[in-house]
Amino acid sequence: MASSPSPTIPTIFSPARRRAVRARMRVLQQRPNAARFLADDMAEDVLERLAFLRHEPQRALLIGDVTGQLTEALSAQGCDVVRADPAPVAGEVAVDEEQPLPFAEGFDLIASLGTLDTVNDLPGAMVHLRRALRPDGLAVISMMGAGSVTGLRALMLEADGDRPAARIHPQVDVRAGGQLLQRAGFADPVIDSRSLKVSYRSLRGLVDDVHAQGLGCCLQRKAPPLGPAGWARAQQAFERLSKNSRFIEQFEILTLSGWAKPLRAPKF
Tell me what pLDDT residue 5 has: 41
Closest to 39 measured CA to CA, from 57, 63, 17, 56 = 63
Residue 34 lies in a domain: yes
**DSSP, res 86:** S
Residue 92 lies in a domain: yes
- CB distance 3 to 71 below 8 Å: no
CATH number at residue 129: 3.40.50.150
pLDDT digits (tens, 9 = 90+) for 87-140: 999 999 999 999 998 886 789 999 999 999 999 999 999 999 999 999 999 999
Report how many helices (DSSP H) and strands (DSSP E) the chain contains, helices first.
Answer: 8, 7
Strands 133-144 and 93-94: unpaired
Please tell me the distance from the alpha carbon of residue 85 to that of residue 62, in angstroms, as a whole number.
8
pTM, full prediction: 0.91
CB neighbour list of residue 197: distance below 8 Å, 6 or more residues apart: 248, 249, 250, 251
CB neighbour list of residue 259: distance below 8 Å, 6 or more residues apart: 136, 137, 138, 139, 186, 187, 188
Three-state DSSP state, 156: helix
**DSSP, res 262:** P
Residue 67 lies in a domain: yes
**Strands of the 187-200 sheet, one edge to the other:** 93-94, 80-85, 59-63, 107-113, 133-144, 247-260, 187-200
Domains in the chain, number: 1
Residue 6 lies in a domain: no
Residue 157 lies in a domain: no
Residue 109 lies in a domain: yes
How many C-beta atoms lie closer than 10 Å to residue 143's C-beta?
Answer: 24
Residues of the chain with pLDDT under 70: 1-7, 104, 262-268
Tell me what pLDDT residue 185 has: 93
Residue 155 lies in a domain: no
* Full residue range of the structural domain in which residue 43 is found: 15-148+170-199+215-223+250-260
Task: Kindly give the interhelix angle for 122-131 and 174-183, rounded to the nearest 10 degrees.
Answer: 50
Residue 138 lies in a domain: yes
**DSSP, res 267:** P
